[in-house]
Copies of this chain bind each other. A is one copy, B any other.
């Protein structure tokens, strides 16, 4: 596969164009071809060992989105944006999920599963004894933050607005969307769509520390 690169100037311009949208235009919908790519940006997100400890729920049902609104500090983006994604971890990842992944690798790459036994064992060892004293759930949560990064950046390239949200009630989300019974737990919410013409945040200068404070050269 060949790379057809985007120019540095265009990438920068789209990154600068992005901001956390407070007010979406409810009449503007993301076209199907662009939304398809955004779903693929989630699927293609890299994760630790490639284990993909997650699932992404696209909530289209307006009544459910209204219920979620009441559990999102009433941030209207939850109902007004074209699309709403709830990013969730698979809870309690363990041996079964590693076996499933190794089987998928064997299938997709057409390699004998016996040749992957060492990798299987190594990943299980990591999962059983995370070496930093944190849980597999916390490890999975971190991976989900990569996914929201890839999703928002991809959206910005496509000229699609987003707003990353940590401020919601995960337990209520899990209940309303039926995630707990499936073994998932919500971590982040990301509305996507198009900014309203009168969202005053669109024209505010970004607040970012100067490069010399954020980037060190050694």
Which residue of B14, B61, B214 contacts A52 across the interface (Cβ within 8 Å)? B214
Q: Which residue of B lies closest to A59 (CB)?
A: B218
The answer on a CB contact under 8 Å between A44 and B61 is no
Q: A104 in the interface, Cβ–Cβ < 8 Å?
A: yes
Q: A128 in the interface, Cβ–Cβ < 8 Å?
A: no
Compute how far the CA of A147 lies from the CA of B158 in the bound complex, rounded to whole angstroms.
Answer: 19
Residues of B close to A12: CB separation below 8 A = 37, 40
Interface size on A, residues (CB 8 A): 82
The answer on a CB contact under 8 Å between B157 and A209 is no
The answer on a CB contact under 8 Å between A15 and B154 is yes
Residues of B close to A17: CB separation below 8 A = 1-3
Which residue of B42, B61, B157 contacts A157 across the interface (Cβ within 8 Å)? B157
The answer on a CB contact under 8 Å between A217 and B58 is yes
The answer on a CB contact under 8 Å between B8 and A54 is no
Q: A197 in the interface, Cβ–Cβ < 8 Å?
A: no
Q: Return 15 A-B CB contacts under 8 Å, by A number.
A: A1-B16, A11-B154, A11-B158, A16-B44, A42-B214, A42-B215, A44-B206, A45-B149, A46-B152, A50-B207, A55-B216, A61-B218, A64-B218, A108-B206, A146-B164
158-174 of chain A: CB within 8 A of chain B = 158-160, 164, 166
Compute how far the CA of A3 lies from the CA of B152 in the bound complex, rounded to whole angstroms.
Answer: 14
Residues of B close to A42: CB separation below 8 A = 214-215
Q: A96 in the interface, Cβ–Cβ < 8 Å?
A: no
Residues of B close to A2: CB separation below 8 A = 17
1-58 of chain A: CB within 8 A of chain B = 1-6, 8-18, 20, 33-34, 36-37, 39-46, 48, 50, 52, 54-58
The answer on a CB contact under 8 Å between B14 and A6 is yes
Compute how far the CA of A40 lies from the CA of B210 in the bound complex, rounded to whole angstroms.
Answer: 10
Q: Which residue of B lies closest to A36 (CB)?
A: B8
Binary interface encoding of chain A residues 180-212 relative to chain B, with 1 for a CB under 8 A from any of its CBs, else 0: 000000000000000000000000111111010
Q: A66 in the interface, Cβ–Cβ < 8 Å?
A: no
